[in-house]
A and B are shown apart, each in its own frame.
Chain A
């Protein structure tokens, strides 16, 4: 503690240079925090995906449908606990930019398959009683300012109605919350019975199955058994863990994690050079002063510690400010107005930011600090 004023006084020596370096580090950590939240938004589904859940889809592509009759066959396979189907509805609410996922499902299968969806008994009952009813995530409801009892019109892009109409009207009767911070609460669930009876075609066909296995350690084995069951049929399947399925969805845009990691690596490498340069100048300019410190009794390690302390002070101030600003920006919410239903800075990444700050301080400061440590007093005093 008693050396703090010595460290902070040294940073005041070249105020402009110190400020610019802190600003550079701050920008790097704003980027780190914000890009981390974006990566998290893409990975959110993967992280909360159930280890005991598989997704079974058509082998050719997700848009190819599967027979509803597969459900019973899947449930008969050893190791399968339950199977529930979903279908992509793909409608538009008011205008295309208001994108969110809408899926017809069997309500009771959904309750059983997704324990992370928290729904009151009252809302469950209301949905089971209302054929045109929908179950909506809290995040989606807040996004559009909906409330229970509202009638929500959705224009179909895939599924026209038997009467030729494209506008489907649903009654908002139930709301779910997420058990975890990363649970997606931006979904809109339609009753399958109402959907199947009302759509113009495709009766008896569903989009994909979510399958719960009794032993997560046997998930790969069960997936293989499911694919084998439907091999050489008209609709062959591809079964994979839910996490891999969601990741595959995100990867349609590109390997987001790799892209973000590449950007952050480039930013951090550049900032490391800036911070390292600052520390190198700081030591070079103060050779004489560091020699005096040694002459009056500071040990080699003590001087090394002082220089590393200065490096840590600069990166800590810049890094903490950057993480703080990033946290504020992320707290302002989803920047895409709906594409990132889960958008937050995870606690783990806040700690990772702290580790990066310390690592940057060490890497930027260690060479100048070692030079300071090795200074020969008599030589340095003569300079």
Chain B
């Protein structure tokens, strides 16, 4: 594995292509894409459906691999890691927030938040303590015994954020975190993400269609036809 990148850039994506095959059809989603994200940045990624926003997020989060190019996060080239090492890297360095929360319906909020800690060597008591702290940060400590079906959409998303930050990752990847919420709940989630960025120094990449949500970020990039730009393309 080749290490590269600089300390002031947490994420460095260079010359990345991503090609999908659907039967005989070949779809070029990203083409020769370059991106650098400094430590502590709150980046909003916008673009029309199918522009490759989620694909880019997946590549940076080690959920997928590029067809060409390199992805370096925190000085480590992750696109060449083995599946097992990549899983361990994700568990340690990445927090994921999904549009539809993706909580385990059979687990309480507390147990959902504890899930990533099962992969650590922490004791049961320590796991419980850290999950409680994460739920406290997102303002849900009073709902820790509730199951997802007993929580509102906003509360579920806050539980999802608590799960994402419980391992104290450097990078938070949010795929349309307010896409399934009403305006008020969405604003609360954006407040929370902003606080995590400003107060705890988390680097956040947020995919969104919502211009109001993007306005909370420190930088907004637009993705269209596999290319990034600072300007929206009609």
Q: Which residue of B is nearest A303, CB measured?
A: B87
**Which residues of A are at the interface with B, using a C-beta cutoff of 8 A?**
2-3, 5-6, 9-10, 12-13, 288-289, 292-302, 376-378, 381-382
Q: How far is the CA of A295 from the CA of B102 in the complex (A)?
A: 11
A293 in contact with B83 (CB, 8 Å): no
Closest beta carbon of chain A to B176's beta carbon, Å: 12
Closest beta carbon of chain A to B83's beta carbon, Å: 6
Q: How far is the CA of A382 from the CA of B105 in the complex (A)?
A: 19
Does B19 reach chain A (CB closer than 8 Å)?
A: no
A-B residue pairs in contact (CB < 8 Å), sample of 16: A9-B106, A9-B111, A13-B105, A289-B102, A294-B87, A295-B61, A295-B63, A297-B87, A297-B88, A300-B87, A301-B84, A377-B63, A378-B58, A378-B64, A381-B63, A381-B98
Q: Of B64, B87, B91, B92, which is in contact with the most chain A CB atoms at under 10 Å from its CB? A: B87
> How many of B's residues come within 8 Å of A, CB to CB?
27
B98 in contact with A296 (CB, 8 Å): no
B115 in contact with A293 (CB, 8 Å): yes
B87 in contact with A9 (CB, 8 Å): no
Does B116 reach chain A (CB closer than 8 Å)?
A: yes
Which of B87, B106, B118 has a CB less than 8 Å from the CB of A2? Answer: B118
A292 in contact with B102 (CB, 8 Å): yes
Does B158 reach chain A (CB closer than 8 Å)?
A: no
Does B144 reach chain A (CB closer than 8 Å)?
A: no
Q: How far is the CA of A297 from the CA of B117 in the complex (A)?
A: 10
Q: How far is the CA of A293 from the CA of B61 in the complex (A)?
A: 14
- Those 10 A-B pairs whose CB atoms lie nearest each other, nearest first: A297-B91, A378-B64, A9-B106, A299-B87, A292-B102, A377-B63, A378-B58, A296-B116, A297-B90, A297-B119
B94-128 CB mask vs A (1 if < 8 Å, else 0) is 00101000101111000100011011000010000
B92 in contact with A10 (CB, 8 Å): no
Please, which residues of chain B bring their CB within 8 A of the CB of A377? 58, 63-64
Which of B63, B83, B106 has a CB less than 8 Å from the CB of A10? Answer: B106
Please, which residues of chain B bring their CB within 8 A of the CB of A299? 83-84, 87-88
Does B202 reach chain A (CB closer than 8 Å)?
A: no
Q: Which residue of A is nearest B65, CB measured?
A: A378
Q: How far is the CA of A377 from the CA of B98 in the complex (A)?
A: 13
